[in-house]
Structure 1
Amino acid sequence: MTLQAHLVVSRAAFTLDLAFEVAAGEVVALLGPNGAGKTTALRALAGLVALSGGHIVLDGRELHPLAAEQRPIGMVFQDYLLFPHLTALDNVAFGPRCQGVPKAEARRTAAALLDRVGLAERAAAKPRQLSGGQAQRVALARALAVRPGLLLLDEPLAALDAHTRLEIRSQLRRHLAAFDGATVLVTHDPLDAMVLADRLIVIENGTVVQQGTPAEVARHPRTDYVARLVGLNLYRGVAHGAGVKVGELLLHTSERLDGPAFVAFPPAAVALYRTRPDGSPRNLWQARIEGIERHGDNVRVHLDGPIAAFADITPAALADLDLTPGQQIWASVKAGETHAYPA
């Protein structure tokens, strides 16, 4: 069940123009900031938003002329949208019943799916009696009950608390691995995308700006949005051998390139000094502290200067350096932690 899609949706102030494929058994995550077009793309695949152009083809069959209820699609909505008056079992059996499956057979299918997602003992529970994680698994079972060729998931973990999210994320990955159709996942959470997806498609302003495996995207971000997601300082410049010129600053790198290039390094690789350090590190510049904030167990320092950068230091280092906003300091990064790749 390979999906081939070219989604064109035109609106007054926004146009989605997105072409991609999903192989059978593959999970592809659409990742991007709010307003990028992720949910519009998912709703277009489901038939809930009309295409202005393009096509949707699943296993050689054109889906775009079909109404939503005629498409071989299972969908898990962000808020799950379980029927409040039905039990978990009847929620899951609802899809097969709508397809004309006899009641007893539909309920047997539903019972088997609830057992598969670990909720056999909650079959008689109504949605209000389920936890967030249980409701998510019922919604997944309901989507799978119609034997879809294409599975769509819209922020499937967004409604869960942090502890439940960790547990359900790993369970969902196992269930998706067992699904032999194509899966498209929409999320704004990079961790969900990295854990659940085989491939990422990053969308900004309705178009694809980067795609690849999670490892490829994390190692080589190509936009500021992606760099922030994976926690890197990112710049575009011109490479000459083992250096990349970014504005007036030459950054020495661990790779040798020539021509337009990106250069990136993690905030934790940035060292800060009150005075110019001895030994003159190869990548050294003077900067002004624009802001200081907590960042996990560390402190993130916002720097402005020949390049804008983030530096992550420990609270102890912050106290030792006695850093304050507006202060002029020196920043450096080792060439071995500064990586370049073609733009």
Structure 2
Amino acid sequence: MTAPGDAARGPATAPVPGEGLDARLVVDRGAFRLDVTLTAAPGDVVALLGPNGAGKTTALRALAGLLPLTDGHLRLDGAALDRTPPESRPVGVVFQDYLLFPHLSALDNVAFGPRCRGAGKAEARARAAEWLDRMGLSEYAGVKPRRLSGGQAQRVALARALATRPRLLLLDEPLAALDARTRLEVRAQLRRHLARFEAVAVLVTHDPLDAMVLADRLVVVEDGRVVQEGIPSDIARHPRTDYIARLVGLNLYRGRAEGHTVRLDAGPAVTTTEDLTGPVFVAFPPGAVTLHRERPTGASARNLWRCEVAGLETHGDQIRADLTGELPLTADLTTVAAAELGLHPGTPVWAAVKAAQTHAYPA
């Protein structure tokens, strides 16, 4: 599986000492503690991904200077920013709700940033006009935010952030407020702009597709800690927590391998095609699971477990079955197959997975 961003953007660049972002963000907020290390080279787009409450927004606010660090450090292009006030940092921010000034035109919203950084009115407006042109919004220069669509407002907010020529661009759920159709179009536009951005960009999102399409590298945060990081395709192939597995649509288990057999920490053994020894993860997609009302005979599947349907829900054009029993798992099947099996909560079934459709890797 190759994530959409991998081939187009290429691998993330190794940071050069003194260039880009070098941060260890430690923030104590009551009982919650954030402790996250982030490094990125100029031109890199890093996505902070994680469940609600993981600490993504706290990290972004610390980078912007809106939250003080309890400990750690924050350096950008070799300059320490730990005690630099937000307005003096070479940082641009695009907020989830855009926060455009309602009384200003699109042009003056974009010009606001350069004006705050000391540019004269004529220079700021000229720079703003240039950025609106890049965003395909020249004809909306005199329009106020209430008359802009969600996608147009998002592009004005991005232009406002980029017009200050930041060395660090922070994007807080930049597509969350858009409807599905607009999101698709704006995501493609945002990807093009980020591909041309020469400094560091940090994207906060809970949407795996946004992260996979827009970022060179993913940093997954849970409970204030980094639990996994890497290029999108590696994380999609080798999830290391239940959250990541659910995010990329996999059943994930941990156990100990003895050749082609993995004895799970909680549950039965799983047969795999990989020959490994020691602690491993085993993963397989819900679509690899076949369900049967009676125990299949002569089946080619090496893995067979007695389960019970705990719940059913529509998942795209398929039905996703949540199963409990010998091995808790999820299975995807067509609506026709679900009807033929007569599935409903409480239905006993046999779940089968071929060894060739499992994937084992060191834990």
1:82-138 deviations in whole A, cap 9, x for unaligned? 011111111111111111211111111100000001101110100011000000000
Q: What is the match of residue 7 of structure 2?
A: none
Equivalent residue, structure 1, for 2:101: 83
Tell me the CA shift for residue 291 of structure 1.
1.1
1:324 positional shift:
2.1
Is 1:338 the equivalent of 2:358? yes
What do you get for the CA RMSD once the two structures are aligned? 0.8
Q: Of residues 22, 30, 35 in structure 1, which corresponds to 2:40?
A: 22
Amino acid across the alignment from 1:258: T
1:325 corresponds in structure 2 to 345
| Equivalent in the alignment of 2:16 | none
Q: Residue 104 of structure 1 corresponds to which residue in structure 2?
A: 122
Helix, strand or coil: the match of 1:69? helix
Q: Which runs of 5+ in 2 are unaligned?
A: 1-18
Q: Can you give the 5+ residue segments of structure 1 that lack an aligned partner in the other structure?
A: none
Partner of 1:256: 275
Residue equivalent to 2:191? 173
In the TM superposition, residue 248 of structure 1 has moved relative to its aligned partner by 4.4
Matches within 5 A, 1:264-303: 264-280=283-299, 281-303=301-323
Q: TM-score w.r.t. structure 2 length?
A: 0.93
Matched, 1:11 2:24: no
Mapped to 1, the partners of 2:164 and 2:115 lie a distance apart of: 9
Aligned counterparts of 1:101 and 1:289: Cα–Cα separation in 2: 64
- 2:149 aligned partner: 131
Q: 1:253 to 1:98 in 2, by over 3 A?
A: same
Q: 2:174 aligns with which of 134, 153, 156?
A: 156
- Post-superposition Cα deviations, 1:128-168, rounded to whole Å, max 9, x if no partner, equal 11000000000000000111000000000000000000000
Which AA in structure 1 matches 2:167? G
Please give the alpha-carbon distance, in whole angstroms, between the structure 2 residues aligned to 1:342 and 1:19. 24
Query: What is the CA–CA distance in structure 2 between the aligned matches of 1:105 and 1:254, rounded to whole Å?
Result: 64
Change (3 A) 1:248 1:150: closer
**Post-superposition CA distance 1:12-36 (Å, at most 9, x none):** 2100000120111000000000000
Show structure 1 runs of 4+ deviating over 2 A: none
TM-score w.r.t. the length of structure 1 is 0.99
The alignment of Structure 1 onto Structure 2 pairs a total of residues equal to 343
| Cα distance in 2 for residues equivalent to 1:219 and 1:6 | 27
- The alignment-based identity, stated in percent, is 66
Show the counterpart of 2:57: 39
The one-letter code of the counterpart of 2:217 is: R
Structure-2 separation of matches of 1:181 and 1:235: 39
Residue 315 of structure 1 aligns to which amino acid in structure 2? T
1:217 aligns with 2:248: no
Between 64-73 and 244-253, report the one with greater CA deviation: 244-253
Separation in 2 of the partners of 1:15 and 1:265? 33
Task: Indicate whether 1:311 and 2:331 are aligned.
Answer: yes
Q: In 2, distance between residues paired with 1:165 and 1:279?
A: 48
Q: Structure 1 stretch 324-333 or stretch 214-223: which is displaced more?
A: 324-333
Distance in 2 between residues matched to 1:9 and 1:177, nearest whole Å? 31
Shift, 1:242, TM fit:
1.4
